[in-house]
Structure 1
Amino acid sequence: MFERFTKDARAVVVGAVGHAERGSADAVDDGHLLLALLDREASRGSFALASLGAARHRDSIEEALSGARRRGGLSQADAAALAGLGIDVAEIVSRVEEAHGEGALTDGGGKSGSGAGRSGSGKAGRGWFGRVPFSREAKDTLVKSLRIATARRDRRIGDEHLLLALTVRPGIVSEVLADHGVTHAAVDRVLWGGPAAAAG
């Protein structure tokens, strides 16, 4: 599948690996893909992010991703649902960090990493390019980007397809993007002027 990626999409994938490695993460996740998209300039994906204002709010996006990692990967919606049951996630995180150190629920034990669990070895595994492997969610996002490109009858997978995939996959990244005005409909409108064909 990687041979179908444009130069910009490949740069996002390689950039995501770099973010995961710098954060000592066990795996590349959707958050790393988003950060790599935010790093891009002069591409369709970066144009959409800039047009929707997300590029100006990178710090806020990084903070939201970091907050989700501190909560052990729980989204704001998950935390709100648990609060409805009388479970205070912030209090639990505070107590765990008090006992085990700040960032104890994150991958990498307090380092800025992915939301994936630790392997127990303390060292990141190796995958594509002899580097950190891709998490199941990141692999699913790459497959979803292929489906989106195919539904649009695009021959190549661009970084815009990766962005669209991140907006439709349920989870923390799509929640963070939506909180910053980046939804599937908004990206589609910016790039193509209307609603996209539904991709399975």
Structure 2
Amino acid sequence: MTTAKDLFIIAMDLKRSVGQGDLSLALAGAELIDLIRAGAVAVDGDRIVPGGPPTLDDQFMGEAAAGLTRQAPYERIEDWLWRRGRDLSAAYQAALEKDGELKPQRSGRWSFGTERVEPADTPARRRAAARWKEKEPVLAALASVVGIDGAHSEEETGLDDEAVTTVVAAVHDAVMELEAVRQRRTIENTAFANLWRGP
């Protein structure tokens, strides 16, 4: 399992209300961090520099690596998050359901996406739970960015890798930008509704 899959499982396991767009951006960030750790990419300022061919046995990681821009000036981290993150949480949900990692929810009102699902009791779920219990820094930092756990501040993340810290910060900025877009649309829709309603 990867950091992205662990993050997805934790988001459902804790039954937090996480926006699909927010989670998709965080999943893209998690993939990029795993690519950094695998030596498949490096970070130069705000750019993603491809490294040697990675040995990845994960479908999503393979897709992420294949989608890297391999010519200078290379892609900005933020641009990659938006491009790679498009509908990524839905793709993870479909893949995890297919692999039996998710199951239909038996009861309750928690809805994730269009279907009510929850993590199945699998080794992957137990691994994700163990990383979460240990407050593994990368998983905790990405979870905090999307509001899964508000107990962590940026000073408490424990990230000791500059490239990883840069990616987490870029995810945070992208999530904030997405929230600003949501708020702007809400204001515009309210104003439009008021216009039609009249005085």
Q: TM-score, normalised by structure 2?
A: 0.31
Higher strand share: 2
Q: Which has the larger radius of gyration?
A: 2
